[in-house]
C-alpha cells in the first residue's frame, strides 16, 4: 500500500484510511495469496468430474456412487465455511488463515492414493472442509484490505482464479489421457496434483497481516490496528484518529441480508455445480460415440471459450455496473439459456447450437452470480459478523452445490437432460427474485456504510 494513502495532516480512522487507499504492491500480494486458494478449490472440486469418468469404469460404480463421490466434498465445504467463518470473527483473520490450505493439501494427496471408495470419500471430506474455510477467509480479507472505489474488482480478481482452476482440470485430464497414461494412474494424478498449489500458498498466507479493521472494531485495539496498517504499507498509511470497537449486534438482526446472500448463492450453486461436475456426462449424452478424451475436450472448450471471458469481464466491470445489478443480469440471462435448452429439445440435435447456448449460460454465470455472490457476501455484514455471514452464505451455497452434484447424474439418467436443465431455469429465477428483494447495492459505498457500522458507532 506504499505511496498509497492520504495527506497525513487529515485525521482519519483505520477504516477511512483503508477506504481511500490506492492500489499497491501489498494488494498484489494479498490477491495472489487469496486467489491461489481459489485456483486450488476450483481445480479440486471440478476435476473430479473428469476423474470420475475413469474411476467409474475402473471400479464399476453405480450412478448413486458417482453422485456421492462427486458431491461429498461439497457437504464438507458447507461445514468448513461455517466453522472457519465463526472462528475468524472470534479469533481474528490471521489466526486461522492458512490452516485451510493444509487441509486441502492433505485431502488432495490422500485422494490420489485412495485404494477404494471409502478412502476416497474420506479424502474428499478433508479436502472439502479446507475448501470451505477458504471462502470466507479470502473474500473478507480482500474486501477489508481494499478501498471503496475498486473493492469489487479486487475481490472479483481473487474469485476469477476459479476460472483458471476450471480450465486446468480438464486440461490436465486431457493431457494425461493424450499422453497415453493408463487410466488407473491418470485419475490419481489428476486428483493428486491439486496438492501442489495448496502447498505453494501456505507460507505466504501465514505472512499476511491481521486485518486492521478487525483489530480496531472487533478487538478494540486501535493502536495495534494503526501499527499493523503502517507496517503493511511501509509507513505510508497512518491512521491518526482514535477508533472504538463497534457495538456488536446479533446475526438475527441481519436475517433479510442473510436470506439474500445465502439464498441467492444456494440456488446458483445448485445449478452451477450440478451442471459443471456433470458436464462430461452431458457431453457424452450429446455425443454418445465420443470416448472420455473427446468428452473432456468438449468440456474444456465450454470452460475456456465461455467461462473464462465471463470471469474477466466481471472483474473489469463489476464496480461500474454495480454488484447487485450485475447479479440480476447474470441470473436473468443464464436462466434464459437454460429455458431454451430445456423447453426446446430440438436445439440439442445440433451439437454446435447446444454448445453455444450452454456456453452462454456459463458466460452469464461468471459475468453475474458466480462472481457477485462471493463479493457481496463479504461486503454487507458488519466487521464482527463479516466472516460468519460470508461463511454461512458460502456454506449454504455448498449445500445447494451438493444437491446439484448428487442429483444431476441421477436426474439425467432418470428424467433426461432437458427436464434436468429446466430445474436450473427455475432456480435461476428464484435467485433473481431474492437478489431484487433482499439485497442493497454495495457498489461505491464503504463497508462501514453498507453494514451500518458507522450508525452503530454513532449510537454508542
**Residue stretches of the chain with pLDDT short of 50:** 1-10
CATH number reported for the structural domain that contains residue 442 in this entry? 1.20.1250.20
Question: In the chain, how many domains are there?
Answer: 1
**Residue in this structure with the C-alpha cell 436450473, named with its chain if needed:** 424
Report the SS3 class of residue 163.
helix
Give the structural domain span for 403.
14-459
Please tell me the pTM assigned to this model.
Answer: 0.85
Report the pLDDT value the prediction gives residue 9, as an integer from 0 to 100.
38
Question: Within a domain: residue 2?
Answer: no
Contact 77, 395 (CB under 8 A): yes
Q: Is residue 6 part of a domain?
A: no
Residue 391's nearest CA partner among 90, 186, 11 is 90
Domain-embedded: residue 3 = no
pLDDT at 227: 77
Per-residue buried b or exposed e for 293-319, using 16+ beta carbons within 10 Å of the residue's own CB: eebbbbbbebbbebbbbbbbbbbeebb
Q: Is residue 384 part of a domain?
A: yes
Query: 99 vs 80, 102, 203, CA distance in Å?
Result: 11, 5, 10
Show the cell assigned to 186: 491418470
* Residue 30 falls inside a structural domain: yes
- End-to-end Cα spacing for the chain: 31
The count of other CB atoms within 10 Å of the CB of residue 429 is 17
pLDDT digit string (tens) for 68-116?
Answer: 888 788 889 999 999 999 999 999 988 888 888 899 999 999 999 999 9
Distance CA 457, CA 118 (A): 52
Residue 436 to residue 368: CA distance in whole angstroms: 14
pLDDT the model gives residue 7:
40
Residue 172 lies inside a defined structural domain of this protein? yes
Cα(335)–Cα(424) distance, rounded to whole angstroms?
Answer: 7
Q: Is residue 9 part of a domain?
A: no
What letter does residue 283 receive in the DSSP assignment? H
Residue whose C-alpha is closest to residue 21's, from 3, 9, 5, 2: 5
Contact 301, 413 (CB under 8 A): no
d(CA 274, CA 433): 21
Query: Has residue 1 been placed in a domain?
Result: no
For residue 421 the three cell numbers come to: 436443465
User: What pLDDT, on the 0 to 100 scale, is given for residue 2?
Assistant: 39
Q: 11: which DSSP letter?
A: -
Contact 376, 140 (CB under 8 A): no
d(CA 362, CA 307): 5
Amino acid at each position: 500500500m506504499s505511496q498509497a494513502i492520504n495527506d497525513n495532516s487529515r485525521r482519519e480512522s483505520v477504516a477511512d484510511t483503508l477506504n481511500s487507499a490506492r492500489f499497491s504492491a501489498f494488494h498484489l500480494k494479498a490477491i495472489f495469496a487469496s486467489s491461489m486458494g481459489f485456483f486450488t478449490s476450483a481445480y479440486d472440486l471440478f476435476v473430479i468430474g473428469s476423474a470420475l469418468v475413469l474411476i467409474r469404469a475402473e471400479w464399476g460404480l453405480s450412478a448413486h456412487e458417482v453422485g456421492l463421490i462427486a458431491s461429498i466434498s461439497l457437504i464438507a465445504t458447507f461445514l468448513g465455511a461455517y466453522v472457519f467463518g465463526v472462528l475468524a470473527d472470534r479469533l481474528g483473520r490471521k489466526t486461522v488463515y492458512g490452516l485451510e490450505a493444509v487441509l486441502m493439501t492433505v485431502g488432495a494427496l490422500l485422494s490420489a492414493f485412495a485404494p477404494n471408495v471409502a478412502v476416497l470419500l474420506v479424502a474428499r471430506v478433508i479436502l472439502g472442509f479446507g475448501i470451505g474455510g477458504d471462502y470466507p477467509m479470502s473474500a473478507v480479507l480482500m474486501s477489508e484490505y481494499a478501498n471503496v472505489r475498486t473493492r469489487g474488482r479486487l475481490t472479483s480478481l481473487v474469485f476469477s482464479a476459479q476460472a483458471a482452476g476450471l480450465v486446468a482440470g480438464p486440461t490436465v485430464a486431457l493431457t494425461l489421457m493424450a499422453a497415453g497414461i493408463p487410466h488407473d494412474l491418470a485419475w490419481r494424478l489428476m486428483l493428486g496434483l491439486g496438492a501442489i498449489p495448496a502447498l505453494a500458498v501456505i507460507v505466504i498466507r501465514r505472512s499476511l497481516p491481521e486485518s486492521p479493521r478487525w483489530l480496531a472494531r472487533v478487538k478494540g485495539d486501535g493502536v495495534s490496528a494503526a501499527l499493523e496498517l503502517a507496517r503493511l504499507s511501509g509507513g505510508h498509511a497512518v491512521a491518526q484518529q482514535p477508533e472504538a470497537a463497534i457495538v456488536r449486534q446479533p446475526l438475527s438482526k441481519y436475517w433479510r441480508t442473510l436470506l439474500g446472500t445465502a439464498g441467492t448463492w444456494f440456488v446458483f450453486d445448485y445449478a452451477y455445480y450440478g451442471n459443471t461436475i456433470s458436464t462430461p456426462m452431458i457431453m457424452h449424452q450429446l455425443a454418445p460415440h465420443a470416448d472420455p478424451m473427446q468428452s473432456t475436450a468438449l468440456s474444456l472448450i465450454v470452460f475456456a471459450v465461455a467461462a473464462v471471458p465471463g470471469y474477466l469481464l466481471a472483474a473489469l466491470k463489476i464496480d461500474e455496473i454495480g454488484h447487485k445489478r450485475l447479479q440480476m443480469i447474470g441470473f436473468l440471462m443464464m436462466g434464459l439459456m437454460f429455458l431454451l435448452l430445456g423447453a426446446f429439445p430440438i436445439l440439442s440435435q445440433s451439437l454446435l447450437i447446444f454448445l453455444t447456448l450452454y456456453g452462454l449460460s456459463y458466460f452469464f454465470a461468471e459475468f453475474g452470480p458466480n462472481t457477485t455472490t462471493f463479493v457481496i457476501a463479504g461486503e454487507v455484514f458488519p466487521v464482527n459478523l463479516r466472516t460468519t455471514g460470508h461463511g454461512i452464505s458460502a456454506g449454504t451455497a455448498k449445500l445447494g452445490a451438493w444437491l446439484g452434484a448428487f442429483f444431476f447424474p441421477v436426474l439425467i439418467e432418470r428424467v433426461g437432460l432437458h427436464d434436468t436443465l429446466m430445474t436450473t431455469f427455475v432456480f435461476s429465477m428464484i435467485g433473481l427474485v431474492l437478489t431484487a428483494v433482499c439485497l442493497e447495492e454495495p457498489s461505491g459505498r464503504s463497508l462501514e456504510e453498507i453494514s451500518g457500522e458507522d450508525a452503530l458507532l454513532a449510537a454508542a
